[in-house]
Amino acid sequence: HLNHKSGIRPGKKSFQIVLQAWQNHHNKEEAAERALALVKCMIKLTEEWKMETKPDEKICDNLIELWSKVNVGKAYEILEWMEEQDITLWKHSYNTVMQAFNEKKEKFNNGSIEKV
């Protein structure tokens, strides 16, 4: 929780550090959820407090990579949501989702996975 009145204004670097820590977390699902909350917080700070915390391509790419490992459908939804937020994305982010989707499809076709 960030208290605006305290005058503490975390920079993009602070968020990047926290996000990287979550990427290395053993529970990928929890990490993905928290990373998404973090990015939403960055967008909110940008919009409401005019802070320089709009998520950059690297932060978004990290988030997409996390979600691609956990839930490819959700990763795709996040991509679309980011586009709506007018966030610039790397081509790599799109490729990550497509690759994860194709891997899931392959497993599905081979009968080793029940749901995509």
Q: What is the pLDDT of residues 17-32, one digit of tens each?
A: 888 888 888 899 999 9
Would you state the pLDDT for residue 17? 87
Give the span between the Cα atoms of 44 and 114, in whole angstroms.
38
Q: What is the mean pLDDT of the chain?
A: 87
| Residue 10 pLDDT greater than 90, yes or no | no
Query: What's the mean pLDDT in 82-92?
Result: 93
| Residue 112 pLDDT greater than 70, yes or no | no
**Sole residue written with tokens 């081509």:** 91
Q: Are 55 and 38 in contact (CB under 8 A)?
A: no
Q: Take residue 34 and report the two structure tokens written for it.
A: 């928290």
Give the span between the Cα atoms of 34 and 58, in whole angstroms.
17
Report phi then psi at 51, rounded to 5. -85, 160
Q: Are 51 and 41 in contact (CB under 8 A)?
A: no
| Residue 69 pLDDT greater than 50, yes or no | yes
Cα dihedral 27, 113, 101, 60 in deg (nearest 10): -10
Would you state the pLDDT for residue 116? 47
Indicate whether this model's pTM tops 0.85: no
Contacts with 73 (C-beta within 8 Å, 6 or more apart), sequence order = 116
| Residue 108 pLDDT greater than 60, yes or no | yes
Q: Take residue 25 and report the two structure tokens written for it.
A: 């977390």
